[in-house]
Chain A
Amino acid sequence: MTEHDIELSVNGTTHELTVESRTLLVHALRDELGYTGTNVGCESSTCGACTVHLDGDAVKSCTLLAVQADGAEIGTVEGLAEDGSYAPIQEGFQKEHGLQCGYCTPGMMLAADDLLERNPDPDEDEIREAIEGNLCRCTGYQNIVNAVEFAANEMGETASPEMTAADGGGDD
């Protein structure tokens, strides 16, 4: 089996590793580098549990070979929170009870984050459409939709200067 030396930047940290040609990105992340927050739920790129950011876009890491990601910037759930405070999408999932067993949650949050990047103020239909590649068996999706709306509002408020000035950016 041919092996390849590749370089992956995961949540800003650069890793050099050797992988087989057939090694999937998700297995490189989980088994080689220990980023086990990204989960595997199927092998047919249907469930989205393995969704990560690759150079800023949400992708399913079970359908990409690790060698294809050579040199890429990967973002995983472990990198969502910054300086000890949750990203708005994480806060949304917590506040709105957007998760139960939590297995789909990392992928779901990364897919949702990708949506909010492209569309900061999505309506319900747009949210449901954006996460159609991510399956959740626990929540019935309703509180996930609420969680994404929560994050959108939160990000909207942070982006709006008079709001941050007014409430001092405190959590609530």
Chain B
Amino acid sequence: MGIETIEADDLDVESVLGSAVERREDPSLITGEAEYTDDIQRPNMAHMSVLRSQYGHATINGVDTSDAEAMDGVIGVYTADDLDVPGEVPTGWLLDSLKTPAHPLLAGETARYQGDGIAVAVAEERYIASDAVDAIDVDYDRRDAVTDPKEAVNEGAPVVHDDLDDNTAFDWEIGDADETDAAFDEAAHTAEIDLTNQRLIPNAMEPRATVAEYKPGTEELEVHMTSQNPHLHRQLMSGVLDVPEHKLHIVAPNVGGGFGNKIGHYPDEALASWCAKETERPVKWTATRSESYLTGTHGRDHVTHGELAMDEKGVITGMRVKTYAGMGAYLSTFAPAVPTYLYGTLLSGQYDIPAIHCNVVGAFTNSAPVDAYRGAGRPEALYAVERMITLGAREMGMDPAEFRRQNFVPSDDFPHQTPVAVEYDSGDYEPALDKALEAVGYDDLRERQEELREEGRYLGIGFSSYIEACGLAPSELAGQLGAQAGLWESGLVRVHPTGKVTAFCGTSGHGQGHETTYAQIVSDELGIPYDDIEIVEGDTDEIPQGMGTYGSRSAAVGGSALATSSQKVVEKAKKIAAHQLEASEEDIEFENGEFAVAGAPERSMHIQDVAAQSYLAHDMPDGIEPGLEETSFYDPDNFVFPFGTHIAVVEVDPDTGEIEFENYVAVDDVGPQINPKIVEGQVHGGVAQGIGQALYEGAEYDDNAQLVTGSMQDYTVPKAEHIPTMETDSTVTPSPHNPLGVKGVGEAGTIAAPQAVVNAVTDALQPFDVDHIDMPLTGEAVWRAVNDAPDAGAEGGDEAIADGSGIDEDGGEN
């Protein structure tokens, strides 16, 4: 049944860190009290709806809003011509070769993807706003469109941005091409693969939403919105709308999941804010699900060719990767970083590879912009790596586990410098692999696989020994790589006169349980009871500054900021306590909230009493200001590199293509765990999304750039029946780079799972010589792979395969 939770009442400050305490977020969420953005009502509130391009690519000859404007209850209808603001959506990450075409809030002359905003209507009611949008008449000239990233950069492809020569957004490389080529020249064995990492739709259950309110008296714009990073949104929107940053107040209330989709600065939130200013009415905009599908940033969208070079013993000597990455029609906020620095830098995986070269061509396409989706670049990298490793083992005729083990970075080689720029902080890869092998009963499993094959049943075992780079990010390094922001985090710890604590952090949780884990951190550092500590996130007026929550950074960077601030609080409190206890500061020991004179434990003072004294300020040491609160801007020294091994065990029915899970084991090393129950939940959810990618999900555009998976009925978000019961375990290798030693867990499952599943399915299908199937591995895809395989029909019991039973090739229905 997994890890058992404990109640907050049972916590004590000695063991608060590492306790599986129940989440304090839950009471408001399980009673309906929690407030999400669309729950917010304001007096006299109006509603905004957006008219979106029905074409993937079109010239807009004219927009007739007269019918819409004449409707009862319509307050205003606005097009690109009406927007009197700087109005361009900025790009937050630059690359040397990056082209940055303008991204207007509303399309003026050209619509570049299905869903590109063309006009907005503001009305008294939700339904009327939507009616008004329906009444707007757009005169379009449809143009040819392109959505495949590789096709998009071919000569003759329709060009998405007329002011560019072609669709190449950037051409980027990492690693040493010559050394890598030399490794391949000398290789005894090679393995190669062509794969796609399909476009995905993040599917946070809460669609994006905004409630914006302008107060003419103070010239303040207050925006409640579905944000993973309210301060970042404030900074960017301030420029987009020309509202001074100090007059812009952004609040992320309860946010119903993000998965990367609520990082970027979109046009819509800014449009709602502009409309609030324009109409001087509070304005609400809530995306419908189909609107989310069309316009929310998508993830992945890679077409990749990868090669692995090995010596005669199967020692990896080189890796070469060429990837075409779809950017969509416009560059979303962090989009350029995702398929480059968050991708190419992870291609060494857990392996000691002397030479790696990777070239990525980013392509504009007539599709929704692509940005971070849970894992962001790292799942794409590890999918390619672990597929290649599996094929490498196959090429060598080695057991895939032993092939991995043989090539792991040895435990005594940390920190480990890879040939793709990053230095792994700490790691010990074999114990995680061994634990996973033991959990699945590997040796017996291989025997059973043999036995079952005799019976015409196909069991497969798939490995994923993954690594990820989390804790974004050391600001200086990020700056060198093109980030247009620092990636530190701020934390303010305020001890009130009564000894209670409010701690503020610039991260912005949306389901991760920060209020719980941060309180555990602060409680542990200050020795103040967990229940005496309140955590505040998501409000730019309350929190000093912040970079937000993504890239599994919150614990490692935000948590470290709070730990650092707490330590500063303890330092100051120690001075005050020493003064009060009439001892020298050097003689004061601090443990579990108690300052005591060394050797005289009866002379002691609790930190909460010190707080009272600090505000009374009647008797302070010289040079010490009253009050007890500290702020830190914690900037990490390096990324942190969590790792682990996941093993999927599946049975595949080659007659139907059906895949059934027999087991899924996840052994993750995320460093010390602040709250193991929350860690377990993060792994479960991440793996489920990874399995979703492996088996079910895929955003598909047709040749006209129409999103044909445009609703939840067409895009398969995994249901309870689709996801197996997972077995989780861990090893603990602390990071030397942050005060907590933590590494981050939010994306581990999503990074690890897809290749575990695909490796398992292709392992099952070895008798059919199926080496690769592109995701999602639907029944049809598997069935086709079996039937198209060179050996199709060679095995016994294949009659059903040959006659294609069960599959309607037309896909038609009557």
Q: Do A and B bind each other?
A: yes
Distance between B43 CB and nearest chain A CB, rounded to angstroms = 14
A153 nearest CB across to chain B (Å) = 11
Do residues A90 and B30 form an inter-chain contact, with CB atoms below 8 A?
yes
B256 and A103 contact, CB distance less than 8 A? yes
Could you tell me if A105 and B30 are in contact, using CB atoms closer than 8 angstroms? yes
Are B30 and A93 within 8 A (Cβ)? yes
- In the complex formed, the residue of A with least CB distance to B26 is A94
In Å, the complex CA distance between A23 and B749 comes to: 41
Contact with B along A85-112 (1 / 0, CB 8 A): 0100010011111011111111001000
B70 within 8 Å of A by Cβ? no
Query: Which among B29, B36, B38, B680 is the interface contact of A99 at CB below 8 angstroms?
Result: B29
A77 to B39 CA separation, bound complex (whole angstroms): 14
Answer whether residue B711 sits at the interface, using C-beta atoms and an 8 A cutoff: yes
Q: Is the CB of B680 within 8 A of A97?
A: yes
Partner of A100, one of B33, B35, B513: B513
- Residue pair A46, B31 in contact (C-beta under 8 Å): no
The residue in A30, A43, A102 that gathers the most chain B C-beta atoms within 10 A of its C-beta is A102
- Contact at A128–B721, with CB atoms within 8 Å? yes
Tell whether, in the assembled complex, residue A100 and residue B2 are in contact, meaning their CB atoms are under 8 Å apart. Answer: no
Q: What are the residues of chain B within 8 A of A93 when measuring CB–CB?
A: 26, 30
Of the listed stretches A53-61, A66-74, A141-149, A157-165, chain B binds A141-149
How distant is the Cα of A140 from the Cα of B36 in the complex, in angstroms? 22
Q: Are A36 and B39 in contact (CB under 8 A)?
A: yes
Query: Do residues B688 and A146 form an inter-chain contact, with CB atoms below 8 A?
Result: no
Query: For the complex, what is the distance from the CA of A39 to the CA of B717, rounded to whole Å?
Result: 18
Contact, CB under 8 Å: B203 / A94 = no
- Asked if residues B32 and A36 are in contact (CB atoms below 8 Å), the reply is yes
Contacts of B229-270 to chain A: CB distance below 8 A: 254-257, 259
Question: Given A20-B127, A42-B712, A99-B29, are A138 and B36 also a contact pair (CB < 8 Å)?
Answer: no
Q: Are B719 and A95 in contact (CB under 8 A)?
A: no
> B154-162, B204-212, B332-340, B534-542: which lies at the A interface?
B204-212
A162 to chain B, nearest CB (A): 24
* Residue B726 lies at the interface, judged by CB distance under 8 Å to chain A: yes
Query: CA–CA, A137 to B41, complex, Å?
Result: 26
Complex: A132 Cα to B716 Cα, angstroms: 12
Mark B188-215 against chain A: 1 for CB-CB distance below 8 A, else 0: 0000000000000001111100000000
Binding site of A, secondary structure by majority: helix, strand, loop or mixed? loop
Interface size, chain B (Cβ < 8 Å): 60
Inter-chain contact A100/B31, CB cutoff 8 Å: no
Interface residues of A in 123-172 (CB under 8 A from B): 124, 127-129, 131-132, 134-146, 149
> Judging by beta carbons under 8 Å apart, are B681 and A97 in contact?
yes
Nearest residue (CB) in A for B719 is A132
| B202, closest chain A residue (CB) | A137
Kindly provide the distance from the CB of B434 to the nearest chain A CB, expressed in whole angstroms.
24
Contact with B along A106-121 (1 / 0, CB 8 A): 1001000000000000
Mark contacts of B715-752 with chain A using CB atoms, 8 A cut-off: 1 yes-contact digit, 0 otherwise: 00101110101100000000000000000000001000
Chain A, 19-45, CB within 8 A of any chain B CB: 20, 22-23, 27, 30-31, 34-44
How many Å lie between the Cα of A141 and that of B205 in the bound state? Answer: 14
Q: How far is the CA of A61 from the CA of B59 in the complex (A)?
A: 40
Is residue B511 contacting chain A, with contact meaning CB distance below 8 A? yes
Give the CA-CA distance A41 to B576 in the complex, in Å: 53
Alpha-carbon distance between A36 and B26 when the two chains are bound, in angstroms? 16
CB distance B32 to A78 under 8 Å? yes
The answer for the CA separation of A12 and B768 in the assembled complex, in Å, is 62
The answer to whether A139 and B126 have CB atoms under 8 Å apart is no
Residues in chain A near residue B38, CB distance under 8 A: 30, 36, 39-40
A136-B41 Cα distance, complex, nearest whole Å: 26
Q: Is A51 an interface residue (CB 8 A)?
A: no
For B259, what are the chain A residues with a Cβ–Cβ distance below 8 Å? 137
Interface string of B20-46 (1 = CB under 8 A from A): 001101110111111110110100000
Residue B436 CB within 8 A of the other chain:
no
Bound: A30/B31 CA distance, A: 15
Q: Which residue of B lies closest to A41 (CB)?
A: B205
Q: Are B720 and A77 in contact (CB under 8 A)?
A: no
Q: Which residues from chain A contact B29 at a C-beta distance below 8 Å? A: 99, 102, 105
User: At the interface, yes or no: B180 with Cβ under 8 Å from chain A?
Assistant: no
Is the beta-carbon distance between A44 and B725 smaller than 8 angstroms? no
* Shortest distance from the beta carbon of A86 to any chain B beta carbon, whole Å: 7
* A102, B256: Cβ atoms closer than 8 Å: yes
Docked CA distance A41–B208 (Å): 10
With both beta carbons as reference points, the residue of chain B lying nearest to A20 in the complex is identified as B127
Confirm or deny: B490 has a beta carbon within 8 angstroms of a beta carbon on chain A: no
| Min CB gap B623→A, angstroms | 46
Instruction: Let me know if A49 and B726 touch, CB within 8 A.
Output: no
Once the chains bind, are B723 and A101 in contact (CB under 8 Å)? no
Interface assignment of B289: CB less than 8 Å from any CB of chain A: yes
Q: Does A8 contact B (CB under 8 A)?
A: no
CA distance A37 to B257 in the complex (A): 16
A-B contacts, 11 listed (Cβ < 8 Å): A22-B127, A39-B36, A39-B205, A39-B206, A96-B5, A100-B681, A101-B256, A102-B29, A140-B726, A142-B725, A142-B726
Q: A100-B511, A149-B1 are in contact. List 8 more A-B contacts (CB 8 A).
A: A49-B205, A76-B32, A90-B30, A99-B29, A101-B511, A135-B203, A137-B205, A138-B681
Smallest CB-CB A-B distances: 7 pairs:
A37-B32, A103-B256, A101-B511, A102-B29, A140-B688, A140-B684, A36-B39
